[in-house]
A and B are shown apart, each in its own frame.
Chain A
Amino acid sequence: MSTQAEANGHTTTDELEAFVYDDAIVRKFMLATLIWGFVAMLVGLIIALQLGAPELNLPPWLTFGRLRPLHTNAAIFAFGGNAIFTAVYYSTQRLCKCRMFSDRLSNLHFWGWQGIIASAAITLPLGFTQAKEYAELEWPIDIAIAVVWVGFFGVNFFGTLMRRRERHMYVALWFYIATIITVALLHVFNSLSAPVFGLKSYPVYAGVQDAFMQWWYGHNAVAFFLTTPFLGLMYYFLPKATNRPVFSYKLSIIHFWSLVFIYIWAGPHHLHYTALPAWASTLGMLFSLMLWMPSWGGMINGLLTLRGAWNKVAVDPVLKFFVVGITFYGMSTFEGPMLSIKSVNSLAHYTDWIIAHVHSGTLGWNGFMTFGMVYWLAPRLFQTKLWSTKLATAHFWIGTSGILLYVLSIYTAGITQGLMWRAFDATGALKYPDFVETTIALMPMYWIRALGGTLYLTGVVLLGVNIYKTWRNRPEKYDEPVHYAPALTRKYEDPAPPPTVYTANVEFARKGELFLHGGWHRRWERLPLRFTIWVLIVVAAASLFEAIPTFLIKSNVPTIASVEPYTPLELAGRDVYIAEGCYNCHSQMVRPMRAETERYGEYSKPGEFVYDHPFQWGSRRIGPDLHRVGGKYSHDWHVRHLEDPRQLIENSIMPAYPHLLTENINFEAIQRRVNVMAMLGVPYGDALENAPEMARAQASQIARELEEQGGYLDLDDKKIIALVAYLQRLGADINKPIDEDAATGAAP
């Protein structure tokens, strides 16, 4: 024993310590993965069907605007999250030759996370939302996420690293470290907000800065929640399943560090052609292009690890899932940089192309890597054979067909709609001036997408049956093998550096060669604290380089004199807009392109959003942009349209919102909304004292105008009046005749 240890350059104590892995917690996380995966995909299927058949929207709780955040949050944080935890809890123990640091923390983590998911599933349909994509959950839940992630998961993971009996950390652990550190940073800084009520808050950032923070978060949620932990998963489970060595340790090092450094910068590519400053947009594009190879490093290391094992792919469903998963990772990480090129983005942004891109990543990469892992784990965790390999293979083929139907139809939909939006006729007028024409054109694709989603969900049901049957065959009592390994000593001497071709007097060249040899990195791999600090420095530095100028340079957001805060009633209406999740289908950002200014009006300026806590620029135009909707329609039109869109637009797919005509505005509560906004720096004058009265006065003014227009009566105190007030204000300030302000008075 000792001779072998010395030969490896290891120094360990002679005494062997006994330990048992905690697989019960892995079984729990795996079960949660399957249950939430089914729920997330079922909700996804429901909202896909709602796009084809708007009558499937059941207001107020089950409309597209409220269910879509439930779908995204459940898919990312419930399905993806539990899959990550399954992988981390299984592999970390084995890579560290150590039980998890604390069984109590493991269980607190598990139940805390499920509690967070359950509270999301309740609050989102009820309309409690911060209206920032994938960060919708309200502030008490945000706090719970930070506690569970850092306090339970983080402490438990790093505690395990400290107690490990394996000298060096394997590449999977590097990716787990990057995940835990960065997700904590992203979540905390994007979620900073001022509470208004128990389940309502306003973010501290506004407009351009809020948009920047949100997509710094949003893009890196993709990076550090859906990429790095799944690469860690791949690095553990793929070599285990193939029984082949990893292709290249060098590549692991270089693609790990380049990935964590470069990913952070890429967020602004979500905001091309918007009011974001041009330099940030350029940084977003250039770093996204640089990200191509670091991402592909993971794919290469995965696919080339399969060398010599391709014959197994033909028979083993686990490897089938891994191969297709990694291939989808490669495709979507090529597509991402391509979409970040400004001119490509100008076509793709706001269309279904982005939805297709995302789903090739989530269904293909995250889903299939998870399924492969579950099929590999099930026999080991339940200590019996997998119930049916045939059924698993059927799942693979049904799932793959599902993804293909889904993404191909939605790519077609995205490109079709993007081209229709920008098409001009011979006279230079928009060829499809009526937005709904571009919606109707997508209907066949929407139904094919729903079919693809149904197939994918069917595959998940087969997985559930297979795992259930396997579980039924488990032994009476699980065997808990005892493992032995010596503890690590404090002292450790690095192995001698390899001989170099340079002599000592060419010190510079010799050092360079040693650097490239990577001995320094090998050292870091046994110093978890140092490794973690370097990860933190890398991601924090990259973040600050972009964030500091965004917040500090005044010229980023030139002020516009005529832009004023929302009136108290409009603010309340804005909160109705947020609660209904309107941002899920409507952007508020007219881009500087003739096709957009013809359709919507003047393009959006950064100074117009300075009072928008949160920003509502949106990311997908299932319906038209709303930034210049203020003053475009009569109150009467809005009320009839919101009550039932199909009264006015025959083929509209927008949900109806009849409840807004019956639910009352809580006028007294508006004061608190105004006061919190004022605390965040919005200059409210008189409204600080008498917001309810001001809101009532404006509401009865609008109700009176509505009556004159021949519309509904007696809506003075209904939510719809607040929402109409907000919609009529949208984007109108820059057209306001500044001198006549006082004269026109009441009409905002």
Chain B
Amino acid sequence: MSEQECLLEHEYDGIKEYDNPTPAWWHVIFWISIFFAIPYAFFFHFSPMGWSVHDAYDSEIAAFYQAKFAKFGQLESDEATIVGLMLNENYMAATAGTYQVKCASCHGKSGEGLVGPNMTDDFYKNIKTIEEIHRVISEGVVAKGMPAWGRQLGPNQLVLLSAYIASLRGAQPLPGAKAAEGEQLPPWPDHPMLSFEDESEDAG
């Protein structure tokens, strides 16, 4: 069909219009986009096989914590456990991320202190023994600005984080470290290093 044949008689301020057909691919894609909607909506909202973003999140979290914490069972928050975990470098490396997200903004990236106290020296404001670190993290020292994390972190995360805080003690003095506050404590008590790797392999 030549152009002249499909030129319509419409004219507006000199503007004319052809009556060309819409390209076929336009129709094809348009109809596909419409028909795609039906099975998609049915699958995700009306069929038992579908899942919501919250389902996907729950299974992601479950899988992650299964992999990360299953081997620990239910950790105690006593002296032996905290010291034992503290000595295990792999566990401490795995806990560093939690510290960076939750603690570093007040206690410094390496524990050197910022708004919150320095945790690399031998002086402590709110604890006398190593297991009390767990209490401070869980319940906070709200009057002094330390939040309570007991409801926001899991029980194993709290114990691991307590061990991580304890492990910061004795790091090399850092430039810009906050001055010592509180009382000097004797060195942490001795306990054997804890490792759960073999048990988890047996179980697996």
Contact = CB atoms under 8 A, between A and B. Distances in A.
Contact of A293 (B16, B33, B152): B33
B13 interface: yes
Given A245-B15, A290-B33, A429 B21 contact: no
A637 B106 CA distance: 8
A427 B34 CA distance: 43
Interface string A619-656: 00000000000011111110010000000110000000
A601 B96 CA distance: 17
A278 B45 contact: yes
A666 interface: no
Nearest to A288: B33
Nearest to A594: B60
Given A249-B18, A601-B152, A297 B26 contact: yes
A121 B64 CA distance: 50
Interface stretch (A250-258, A378-386, A401-409): A250-258
Nearest to A342: B53
A637 B113 CA distance: 12
B122 to A, nearest CB: 21
A418 to B, nearest CB: 17
Nearest to B44: A282
Contact of A427 (B40, B94, B142): B94
Given A286-B40, A434-B100, A631-B147, A429 B94 contact: yes
A735 B10 contact: no
A293 B29 contact: yes
Contact of A168 (B10, B30, B116): B10
Consensus secondary structure, chain B interface? helix
Contacts of A634: 106, 115-116, 144-147
A428 B63 CA distance: 12
Contacts of B30: 258, 290, 293-294
Nearest to B58: A592
A166 B12 contact: yes
B98 interface: yes
A735 B152 contact: yes
B93 A427 contact: yes
B15 A170 contact: yes
B14 interface: yes
Contact of B114 (A279, A603, A648): A648
A551 to B, nearest CB: 19
Interface in A228-285: 236, 239-240, 245-252, 254, 258, 273, 278-279, 282
Interface in B62-89: 64, 67-68
Given A428-B94, A429-B97, A430-B97, A633 B152 contact: no
Interface string A687-731: 000000000000000000100110000000000000000000000
A434 B104 contact: yes
A247 B18 contact: yes
B189 interface: no
A289 B36 contact: yes
B204 interface: no
B174 interface: no
Interface in A285-310: 286-287, 289-290, 292-294, 296-297, 300, 304
Contacts of B143: 705, 708-709
A434 to B, nearest CB: 6
A569 interface: no
A166 B102 CA distance: 70
A635 to B, nearest CB: 6
A636 B105 CA distance: 13
Given A249-B8, A428-B64, A631-B148, A282 B53 contact: no
Contacts of B52: 278
A594 B19 contact: no
A425 B26 CA distance: 45
Task: Report the interface size class on chain B.
Answer: 35 or more
Interface in A428-449: 428-430, 433-434
Interface string B116-160: 100000000000000000000000001111111001100000000
B179 interface: no
A593 B106 CA distance: 25
Contacts, number: 175
A232 to B, nearest CB: 12
A343 B52 CA distance: 12
B183 interface: no
B97 A278 contact: no
B15 A239 contact: yes
A119 interface: no
Interface in B17-50: 17-23, 26, 29-30, 33-34, 36-37, 40-41, 44-45
A475 to B, nearest CB: 23
B33 A252 contact: no
Which one of B17, B40, B96 has the greatest number of beta carbons of chain A within 10 Å?
B17
Contact of A246 (B17, B26, B57, B93): B17
Nearest to B147: A631
B141 to A, nearest CB: 10
B147 A250 contact: no
Contact of B17 (A95, A249, A290, A632): A249
Nearest to A705: B143
A320 interface: no
B171 interface: no
A643 to B, nearest CB: 13
Contacts of B7: 245
A250 B53 contact: no
A592 B54 contact: yes
A94 interface: yes
B59 to A, nearest CB: 11
Given A434-B104, A747-B142, A292 B13 contact: no
Nearest to A292: B33
A170 B142 contact: no
A8 B12 CA distance: 13
Contacts of B93: 427
Contacts of B18: 245-249
A97 B12 CA distance: 9
B15 A640 contact: no
A602 B10 CA distance: 61
B200 to A, nearest CB: 15
A379 B9 CA distance: 29
A601 B22 CA distance: 51
Contacts of A489: none
A388 B177 CA distance: 65
B193 interface: no
A599 B101 contact: yes
A286 B37 contact: yes
Contacts of A287: 37
A636 B145 contact: yes
Contacts of A13: none
B61 interface: yes
A633 B26 contact: no
A245 B15 CA distance: 6
B97 A425 contact: yes
A597 interface: yes
B144 A708 contact: yes
A633 B100 contact: no
Nearest first, the 7 A-B pairs at minimum CB distance are A429-B97, A634-B145, A433-B100, A592-B57, A293-B30, A245-B16, A427-B94
6 contacts: A236-B15, A249-B18, A427-B94, A634-B146, A635-B145, A648-B105
Interface of B: 7-10, 12-23, 26, 29-30, 33-34, 36-37, 40-41, 44-45, 52-54, 56-57, 60-61, 64, 67-68, 93-98, 100-102, 104-106, 109, 114-116, 142-148, 151-152
Interface of A: 8, 91, 94-95, 97, 166, 168, 170, 236, 239-240, 245-252, 254, 258, 273, 278-279, 282, 286-287, 289-290, 292-294, 296-297, 300, 304, 342, 425, 427-430, 433-434, 592-594, 597-599, 601-603, 631-637, 640, 648-649, 705, 708-709, 735, 737, 747
